[in-house]
Amino acid sequence: MACSLGPALLPLLLLSAGAAPGPQWPVQRVPVIWAQHTEDRAPPHFLRAPQLELSTSCGPACHRQTAPPSDSALRLRLSYETLHSSGRLTETAVGIYGFDANSVTQTPASRSRPKRQIFGHDGRFSIVGQDFLLNYPFSTVVKVSTGCSGTLVGERHVLTAAHCVHDGKNYVKGAQRLRVGFLKQQKDPSGRNGTSGRPDRMKFQWIRVKRTHVPKGWIKGTANDIGMDYDYALLELKKAHRRRHMKLGISPSAALLPGKRVQFSGFDTDRPGQLVYRFCQASDETYDLLYQRCDAQPGASGSGVYARMWSRTRQRWERKVIGIFSGHQRVDLSGSPQEFNVAVRITPLKYAQICYWITGNYVDCREG
């Protein structure tokens, strides 16, 4: 049965301004990533349909068996392709400064058994009423025209999952004419301006995408190897959206999150026209991936996973995107089948890359 957001959930979303500082965002110096050279590539064919749900079989165990990447491997994975709305495709090689590949460590596995996409009671909440839908943080959630979700992370930028625009081999059908949908109030035909908050009083207003950035780690890899670690993409809109956007942050360890809890909202396909919110405890992690208990359905892919913590440098509570919801993993661990929902963690290198895509320089990307 669908649930709606009510007053009982407000403390989870909107902590009082006078609350005493609790869990704090770690202060980190971010490595530098910069573009070295850009070359044209052959235009893609756009033959395949997008995957609304990414389902893979490589879980925490196989990720922990992977040796730390070399400097050259990191440069290759963090180089990126850019698809322009004209159909032009370019590839950009990057340089990396101030990062030690040996610092890529893996976190010991926990023994908790996470839920699959929907396991037992459905813990999702449909957000209804314009007072919620059109206000922060729910107003930062957008719909991608290929069927996924995304999060506003800049005045013209949307963070989403790479598999929503690229299947690992080629760009999917619809990626060239990509659009981003903003949920808006629809006028009531009776002339009452649609203030009832009913789901059928909301509609999407679309903005075209100018450029799409996808890391080579996704394109070079596969979902059963390193590819899922790089399942993120940044969309640059043709015009500014004029909404408050979410801050980008480096993912702390799950143990440092308030209540070990993460949150995200998206447009799940089983609830058409509704924005769906969920929160849950993170249950396990590797350096690049976060395994969690949040219920989700296709269409939620690309949603920004976020947390709210105290900023020591700014002396205020800040909500930041720390991951991108990717999909579903079915893993056979020692003969015991286990199922996970997985998000890509924003590591220091990924933060540096995404921030560079947004700002065009690394000077403004040194603090995560």
Using CA atoms, how far residue 261 sits from 156, 294, 349, in Å, is 29, 10, 23
> Quick check: 310 and 21 in contact, CB under 8 A?
yes
Active site residue 157: no
Judge whether 71 counts as a catalytic residue: no
How is residue 32 written in tokens? 């530098």
Instruction: Give the CB-side neighbour count of residue 144, counting CA atoms within 13 A.
Output: 39
SS3 71: helix
| Measured CA angle at 149 (ends 75, 96), to 5 deg | 15
> Is 163 known to be catalytic?
yes
| Strand bridging mode 316-333 / 54-56 | parallel
Phi, psi for 314 (deg, rounded to 5): -100, -5
Of residues 301, 303, 326, 328, which has the active-site annotation?
301
The crossing angle, in degrees rounded to 10, of helices 71-78 and 348-359 is: 40
**Terminal alpha carbon distance of the chain:** 39
Q: What tokens appear for 119 in the block? A: 């396991």
**CA 9: distance to chain centroid?**
23
The residue among 179, 161, 166 whose CA lies nearest residue 238 is 179
Tokens at 306, concatenated:
């976020």
Written as six digits, the tokens of 141 are: 């959630």
Catalytic residue among 157, 163, 213, 245: 163
Of the residues 84, 85, 110, 225, only one is catalytic, namely: 225
Contacts of 42 (CB under 8 A, 6+ apart): 89
The residues annotated as belonging to the active site are: 163, 225, 301
